[in-house]
Amino acid sequence: MASDSLPARELPEAYTGQVRLRVCGLLVHNGTLLLTAHRGLLTDSKPFWSPPGGGWQFGETIQECLRREFREETGLEVAVGRFLHLHEYQSSDLQALELFFEVTALAPMAMPRLGSDPEHTADAQLLQELAFVSPRQLVVLPAPQVHPVLRQIISTDDVFIPQIRFQQ
């Protein structure tokens, strides 16, 4: 298992034993990134911080998927910009390919709000928090709590440097 893997966790059965294609958006505002905290991905009940995004559904374009996921998770309408990152994740129970895009809010003054995942019931939501987080705040968190694409950033400018990360 590669060093950017998550430790053992309580992953919902809906995500195990299958290949997923996830589309994620990087929204920067005043030197911070809009991130969501998920529960159930780490064994010690700590939150896992990652950009808003989710599974690509049959019949959608990738851009439609990302706009839908942002609406569901943050309440924001976004414009999808350029492709930035490709990230491969594989563990014994989960395999995913993640595409990261630059996004901008269509209404720059709109305030995001914590949304929900429609595929989960109200008492089984994975989304726990939504926040604008600075690179300084990310660097002090234990690595397993931060998405691998964000672990090495020093500035929000770093997320705009395209990269491809495959597990070794």
Condensed to tens digits (0 to 9), the pLDDT of residues 41-84 reads 667 778 889 999 999 999 999 999 999 999 999 999 999 999 99
Model pTM score: 0.84
Count of all residues that appear for the chain in the document: 168
CATH topology of domain 21-106+125-165: Nucleoside Triphosphate Pyrophosphohydrolase (3.90.79)
Query: Would you state the pLDDT for residue 9?
Result: 43
